[in-house]
């Protein structure tokens, strides 16, 4: 079976992506070591890859055994709710380190394996990567940067398929934190489910080989 690496696979959208891809792909579930990540891997018969995107210097040794990779899904990310004046430089540094620099570092290390497979790189971006969201200053900026990296990768690596997925608000723990920051009551029924976003993402991966889906925008109905 083709191989797929998913970052941030211990829960939420990452685990849903793993569920959706498990029937058709051999899974490499990447993330910080945890019981949750181990549980997802055990349930799906997948392999865990201990990976901290905030530590790019450690990435080469972790992924060195991978010589061919069909799909890389960048799902891991952090968000610190806050308008510009409420943010700190440390929050910006942490957001960029994980959401952008970590994704860049992992992609660069896996480029030979992706080229060998004629692979597909998928970036789970956000609506905030198209229009800045109030109260998500550093997160929005990181997603704009991630979109730029995806566009550059697509332009420079013609043998690869590169897709940016821009979902609206998803019913996740991160969303619950944002709603609390906004002072509203959290109702998961108002947002996209992780299963829906996972299925939309997998549809880009399983598109016919002559199709190259550059960007997907999906919003709650």
Catalytic residue status for 191: no
CA–CA dist 88, 84 (Å, integer): 9
CA–CA distance, 135 with 190 (Å, rounded to integer) = 19
| Cβ atoms of 99 and 123 closer than 8 Å | no
Question: How far is it, in rounded angstroms, from Cα 55 to Cα 71?
Answer: 22
Distances (CA, A) of 105 to 63, 111, 154: 11, 10, 16
Residues taking part in catalysis: 139
């Amino acid at each position: 079976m083709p191989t797929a690496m998913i970052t941030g696979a211990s829960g939420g959208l990452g685990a849903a992506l793993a569920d959706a891809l498990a029937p058709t792909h051999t899974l490499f579930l990447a993330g910080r070591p945890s019981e949750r990540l181990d549980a997802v891997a055990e349930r799906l018969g997948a392999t865990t890859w201990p990976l901290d995107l905030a530590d790019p210097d450690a990435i080469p040794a972790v992924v060195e055994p991978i010589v061919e990779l069909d799909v890389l899904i960048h799902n891991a990310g952090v968000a610190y709710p806050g308008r510009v004046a409420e943010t700190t430089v440390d929050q910006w540094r942490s957001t960029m380190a994980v959401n952008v620099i970590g994704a860049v570092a992992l992609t660069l290390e896996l480029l030979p394996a992706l080229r060998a497979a004629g692979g597909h790189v998928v970036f789970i971006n956000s609506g905030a990567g198209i229009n800045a969201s109030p109260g998500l200053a550093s997160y929005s900026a990181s997603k704009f940067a991630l979109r730029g990296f995806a566009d550059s990768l697509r332009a420079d690596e013609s043998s690869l398929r590169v897709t940016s997925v821009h979902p609206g608000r998803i019913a996740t723990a991160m969303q619950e934190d944002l709603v609390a920051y906004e002072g509203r009551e959290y109702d998961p029924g108002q947002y996209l489910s992780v299963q829906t976003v996972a299925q939309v993402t997998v549809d880009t991966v399983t598109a016919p080989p002559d199709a190259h889906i550059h960007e997907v925008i999906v919003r709650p109905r």
